[in-house]
Amino acid sequence: MPPLIETRNLRHVYHAGTADAVMALDGISLTVDRGEFVAIVGGNGSGKSTLAKHLNALLLPTEGEVFVDGMNTRDRGALWEIRQRVGMIFQNPDNQLVATVVEEDVAFGPENLGLPAAEIVARVDEALRVVEMAEYRQHEPHLLSGGQKQRVAIAGILAMRPQCLLLDEATTMLDPQGQREVMETIQRLNRDGVTVIHITHAMEEAVQCPRVIVLADGRVALDGPPAEVFSRVEELERFRLVLPPIPALAHRLRRDGLPIPEGILHVEELAGALTRLVAEGAGRGRAGDGTH
């Protein structure tokens, strides 16, 4: 089976051939397998949204190739299958809901796929249940909270039965409560087998993802598990990325001379390391010369 998503030396130039040509993506090659949960981070203008739009053929490569489930995005015949497989959630929840009633909005995608009415009803039911918005099916979207709107948007995508959920800063405009709701929803979906690509500015969200890709100037700068990526402090600083709170604290302590191991991501790990340090220090203090 081909990987779910594969880009080969993907280049994208906006306004190619004119005076204000912008090289937004500069040779991206990566693969995402089924079931993965990937965070994509990067500074403003690093090319995250441009990359996202390539993954469901909203944009076509200036150079290179993008494959979704083995289908080339340049193949016009595969366009609707590609968009059905990779569903995209955008940043502003208000600007992606089409209908005046929640259930009608969730039905929008399946209706576009030309499914029979009974099938659409079943899918809308299921999708709303999965995002825990079933009791809001008759509500007007503009009366919902940000997190609820974003969950309705996710339901609208789920109703198309995608293999991959692609979120472009879907949590950026939400309050902490809404961010938590969306994170929990996509984590749950991932456990049920949906591939998730989560573009985010929030490093504390990236830390929770098993794989983190850092984009800088349209290139993949780092790609690996968060423990590895967030220990490359100097590089991240060069890309003007702030470390997540716990790795940042661990790094500060290490820089101040404390022997704390690399790759610390969560509070518990840091607390454990510090406790061990204190215990060792106390042991040494009692045995040795008594300097603190």
Partner 1 sequence: MELTRYVTIGQYIPRESPVHRLDPRSKIAAVTVLTVAVFVVRDFSGYGLLTLFLLGVVLASQIPLGYLLRGLRPVLFLLLMTLVLNVFFSGIQGGTVLFQLGPVVATREAVLRAVFIGYRLVALVLVTSLLTFTTSPVQLTDGIERILRPFRRLGVPAHELAMMMTIALRFIPTLLEETEKIMKAQMARGAEFEHGNILRRARALVPVLVPLFVSAFRRADELALAMEARCYRGGEHRTRMKELRLAPRDAVALALTIAASFVFTIPYPTWQALLR
Ligand X SMILES: Nc1ncnc2c1ncn2[C@@H]1O[C@H](COP(=O)(O)OP(=O)(O)OP(=O)(O)O)[C@@H](O)[C@H]1O
Binding site for partner 1 (CB under 8 A): 53, 56, 58, 80, 83-84, 87-88, 90, 92, 94-101, 103-104, 107-117, 120-121, 124, 138, 140-142, 156-157, 160
**Cross-strand pairs, 196:** 37, 165
Q: Does 49 bind ligand X (CB under 6 A)?
A: yes
- Output the CA–CA distances (angstroms, integers) from residue 100 to 139, 150, 152, 271, in the order listed: 8, 15, 12, 49
Site for Mg ion in 31-60 (CB under 5 A): 49
Which one among 4, 10, 36, 47 touches ligand X, defined by CB under 6 A? 47
Site for Mg ion in 227-286 (CB under 5 A): none
CB of 74 to ligand X, least distance (A): 20
CB of 168 to Mg ion, least distance (A): 6
* Structure tokens belonging to residue 211: 């794989």
Q: Is 282 exposed, middle or buried (0-12, 13-18, 19+ CB in 10 A)?
A: exposed
Q: Does 13 bind ligand X (CB under 6 A)?
A: no
Answer whether 197's CB lies under 8 Å from 56's CB. Answer: no
- Output the CA–CA distances (angstroms, integers) from residue 180 to 23, 48, 126, 170, 202, in the order listed: 34, 22, 22, 12, 12
* Torsion region of 206: left, alpha or beta (phi above 0 gives left; psi -120 to 50 gives alpha): alpha
Q: How far apart are CA 196 and CA 115, in angstroms?
A: 25
Binds 111: which of Mg ion, partner 1, ligand X, none (CB < 5-8 Å by kind): partner 1
Q: Does 239 bind ligand X (CB under 6 A)?
A: no
Q: Does 46 bind ligand X (CB under 6 A)?
A: yes
Q: Name the site residues for Mg ion (rule: CB under 5 A).
A: 49
Q: Name the site residues for ligand X (rule: CB under 6 A).
A: 14-15, 22, 24, 42, 44-50
